[in-house]
């Protein structure tokens, strides 16, 4: 049955920013991919992305969507995308509530040559299968090699094949299961963050 008290928005009648607000407030909660990369010159980069999900179970593939630069770097290509294109490697670190301030610091608009591990105050841990460090303090890290990059409008879908997974002991429930309650995964809402409530099943 149709509702008389609903608001209707035709995509052609609203601005990009207005549609963006509708999407990020509706497609929630979203996990946060804290992506570490290394430039071809060896500079470490660390940045969060909330357009993030599983793309394929076999081969195990994760997906992040990277938009253009913002602020003073409006319209430029983000360092994360440049680095992945040039090296073909990256790491997705999962973000627990305890690292929210560090993650937020790494989202700052800084010069390309700045080491964002240092900016965030976190420790690089050498990769096992890729030449990119994970965040030591992150309880879960996926090492990935680039599968493909797909341009979609202003953004780019980056698909990475999982090569190695690190799960800290406190986040591991055994039998390849993750103990979600022990590391409190952070979720992105419409400009804010949230934690999981106790899980339930139906």
Q: What is the CATH number of the domain that holds 80?
A: 2.30.110.10
Report yes or no on 17 lying in a domain.
no
Burial 31-49 (b: 16+ CB within 10 A, else e): bbbbbbbbeeeeebbbbbb
Convert the pLDDT of each residue in 135-161 to its tens digit.
Answer: 999 999 999 999 999 999 999 999 999
State residue 95's pLDDT score: 96
Report yes or no on 116 lying in a domain.
yes
| Structural domains counted in the chain | 1
pLDDT at 127 over 90: yes
State residue 27's pLDDT score: 93
Convert the pLDDT of each residue in 63-122 to its tens digit.
Answer: 999 998 665 555 578 999 999 999 999 999 999 999 999 999 998 887 777 889 999 999
Q: Where are the beta strands (DSSP E) in 107-154?
A: 124-125, 134-135, 140-152
Residue 40's domain comprises 29-195
Report yes or no on 16 lying in a domain.
no
Report yes or no on 132 lying in a domain.
yes
Report yes or no on 185 lying in a domain.
yes
Report yes or no on 10 lying in a domain.
no
Q: What are the phi and psi torsion angles at 72 (to 5°)?
A: -65, -20
């Amino acid at each position: 049955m149709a509702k008389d008290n609903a608001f209707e928005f035709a995509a052609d009648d609203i601005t990009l920013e207005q549609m963006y607000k509708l999407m990020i407030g509706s497609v929630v909660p979203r996990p946060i991919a804290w992506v570490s990369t290394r430039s071809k010159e060896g500079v470490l980069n660390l940045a969060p992305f909330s357009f993030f999900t599983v793309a394929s179970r076999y081969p195990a593939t994760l997906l992040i969507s990277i938009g253009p630069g913002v602020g003073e770097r409006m319209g430029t290509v983000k360092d994360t995308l440049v680095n992945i294109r040039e090296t073909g490697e990256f790491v997705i670190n999962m973000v627990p509530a305890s690292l929210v301030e560090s993650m937020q610091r790494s989202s700052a608009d800084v010069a390309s040559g700045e080491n964002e591990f240092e900016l965030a105050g976190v420790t690089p841990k050498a990769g096992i299968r890729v030449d990119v460090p994970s965040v030591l303090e992150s309880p879960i890290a996926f090492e990935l090699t680039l599968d493909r990059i797909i341009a979609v409008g202003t953004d780019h879908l980056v698909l990475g094949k999982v090569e190695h997974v690190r799960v800290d002991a406190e986040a591991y429930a055994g039998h390849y299961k993750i103990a979600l309650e022990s590391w409190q995964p952070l979720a992105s809402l419409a400009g804010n963050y949230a934690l999981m409530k106790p899980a339930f099943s139906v």
